[in-house]
Chains A and B, each alone.
Chain A
Amino acid sequence: QSALTQPASVSGSPGQSITISCTGTSSDVGAYKYVSWYQQHPGKAPTLMIYDVSNRPSGVSNRFSGSKSGNTASLTISGLQAEDEADYYCSSYTTGSTLVFGGGTKLTVL
């Protein structure tokens, strides 16, 4: 199972919006509504930010939103804040009841 494809890095200024893409195949992202997004700060465990493509867990800011079109899922962060600077990973359920992660995207807040 190949990793999902994410851009290595994205950046934005405070207050701006950014979008991170996550491209898979018809066997994972394109086939199921089970795409998640995780935020990871250096030295910390990942934190779930979006589940089932577009749902936010309790406590996650509504500045974070998710969507999907075909084989590509996206995470959008609006009103960028310094604390959003972190690594972001997508994941998807795949055929065979397995899980695959994206390679990760480093978000820099300028």
Chain B
Amino acid sequence: QVQLVQSGAEVRKPGASVKVSCKASGYTFSDYYIHWVRQAPGQGLEWMGWINRNSDATNYAQKFQGRVTMTRDTSITTAYMELSRLTSDDTAVYYCARDFSNWNLDYWGQGTLVTVPS
């Protein structure tokens, strides 16, 4: 069965960076885009960006451009999202999700809580 398993919770100081991993299994990893979505406490979903099948293209939400980097390693079927220059506003649960077609996200990771104390 398709699974996306993310790395554990992180606590970072303001100004630091965090890198979240997303290990895929149960399907051909290189056949699908991966998106990253975050959700601040008590807030809605916020799209961050995607990385394509071959890792030769990414597209980031304007809000995160210059601060986010999405990568993937097909050899270990894992995608990564790194966010730099963290502030307390970046405290959120970060999700990876598989795009099965047309920006429809059919499988999601369990989420990774990133906490940046103010």
Residues of A within 8 A of B (CB): 1, 3, 33-34, 36, 38, 40, 45-48, 51-52, 57, 89, 91, 93, 96-104
Contact = CB atoms under 8 A, between A and B. Distances in A.
Chain B contact residues, majority secondary structure? strand
Interface in B19-70: 35, 37, 44-47, 50, 59, 61-62
Given A46-B45, A89-B44, A91-B47, A98 B61 contact: yes
Interface of B: 35, 37, 44-47, 50, 59, 61-62, 95, 97, 101-106, 108-111
Nearest to A92: B103
B104 A101 contact: no
A45 B59 contact: no
Nearest to B110: A45
Contacts of B109: 45
A100 B44 contact: no
Contacts of A34: 102-104
Contact of B47 (A45, A51, A101, A103): A101
Contacts of B101: 51-52
A76 B10 CA distance: 38
Contacts of B50: 99
Given A45-B95, A46-B108, A98-B61, A89 B103 contact: no
B35 to A, nearest CB: 7
Given A1-B62, A45-B110, A45-B111, A100 B105 contact: no
A47 B37 CA distance: 13
Given A45-B110, A99-B35, A104 B105 contact: no
Contacts of A38: 45, 105
B68 to A, nearest CB: 13
Chain A to chain B: the 6 pairs with minimum beta-carbon distance, closest first? A51-B104, A45-B108, A104-B44, A34-B102, A93-B103, A99-B47
